[in-house]
């Protein structure tokens, strides 16, 4: 499932289409483009130029010169593809923009769980995990009493952290995933923020969350890459969770 690093790489792909003028949208899939009727997104975007590409957590959006904003979400298996004029569309393209220069941008999604929507509202989403400020992170993650992994996964607290990224960051920070947020010191929270940001940068650079050192060991009878202890497995925050009982406290 795409997490923040995959969404950021998708945003970078979207950025490659900035400056192109939209001829039309391919928006016939009423599930991916809900609540819009077929042709509604196309009519709203036709003739407008893409001016910028943005991301907040896993949510993506494109600004146009003087028209509406186009929101995109990768769902569980989607990706963004920008094709040259000579390339054929894929049967898995659920939404696409055709540009006046003949090129095309598509949301390619075998599972059909992505979204395309005009003027999206991200008011329910917390600050982006890659750029959340220190004091804000302390307040949002350290408040109350819940498992720290559950809080990291709460998109209303901070946006973009999924199951694998949470496990990787907590391992790097040497914090157990079930640890109570109310028991985390300021030093713990600051270390977790630093390691979360480091994990995001590394995963974005290397191609995705799956490239993390801990994630490669995250399996049944997996061994901690740091100290060689066997990893433990449980459900935390509703998600399958791995951690090292020796080095994560």
Sheet holding 50-56, edge to edge: 50-56, 59-64, 70-73, 115-118
Query: Which has the closest alpha carbon to 126: 154, 147, 164, 145?
Result: 154
Distance between CA atoms of residues 173 and 242, nearest Å = 14
The catalytic site residues sit at 2-3, 58, 239
In 174-209, which positions are buried (b, 16+ CB within 10 angstroms) versus exposed (e)?
bbbbbbebeebeeebbebbbebbbebbebbbeeebb
Distance between CA atoms of residues 200 and 202, nearest Å = 5
User: Any residues with CB less than 8 A from the CB of 126 and at least 6 apart, and which?
Assistant: 57, 132, 140, 154, 155, 156, 157, 158, 159
**Side-chain half-sphere CA neighbours of 201 within 13 A:** 7
DSSP-based three-state secondary structure for 214: helix
DSSP summary character for residue 183: G
Q: Is the dihedral of CA 230, 172, 13, 56 positive or negative?
A: positive
Angle, alpha carbons 132-1-209 (nearest 5°): 55
């Amino acid at each position: 499932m795409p997490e923040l690093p995959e969404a950021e790489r998708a945003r970078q792909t979207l950025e490659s289409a900035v400056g192109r003028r939209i001829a039309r949208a391919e928006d016939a899939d009423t599930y991916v483009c809900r609540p819009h009727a077929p042709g509604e997104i196309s009519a709203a975007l036709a003739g407008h130029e893409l001016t910028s590409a943005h991301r907040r957590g896993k949510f993506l959006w494109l600004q146009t010169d003087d028209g509406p904003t186009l929101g995109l979400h990768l769902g569980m298996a989607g990706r963004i593809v920008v094709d040259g004029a000579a390339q054929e569309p894929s049967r898995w393209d659920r939404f696409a923009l055709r540009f006046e220069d003949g090129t095309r941008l598509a949301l390619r999604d075998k599972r059909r769980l992505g979204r395309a929507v005009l003027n999206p509202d991200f008011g329910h989403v917390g600050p982006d995990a890659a750029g959340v400020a220190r004091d804000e992170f302390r307040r949002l993650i350290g408040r109350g009493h819940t498992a720290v992994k559950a809080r990291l996964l709460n998109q209303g607290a901070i946006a973009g952290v999924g199951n694998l990224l949470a496990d990787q960051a907590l391992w790097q920070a040497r914090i157990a995933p079930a640890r109570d947020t109310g028991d985390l010191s300021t030093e713990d929270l600051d270390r977790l923020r630093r390691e979360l940001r480091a994990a995001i940068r590394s995963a974005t650079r290397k191609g995705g969350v799956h490239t993390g050192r801990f994630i490669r060991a995250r399996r049944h009878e997996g061994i901690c890459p740091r100290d060689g202890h066997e990893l433990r497995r449980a459900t935390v925050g509703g998600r399958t969770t791995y951690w090292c009982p020796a080095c994560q406290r």
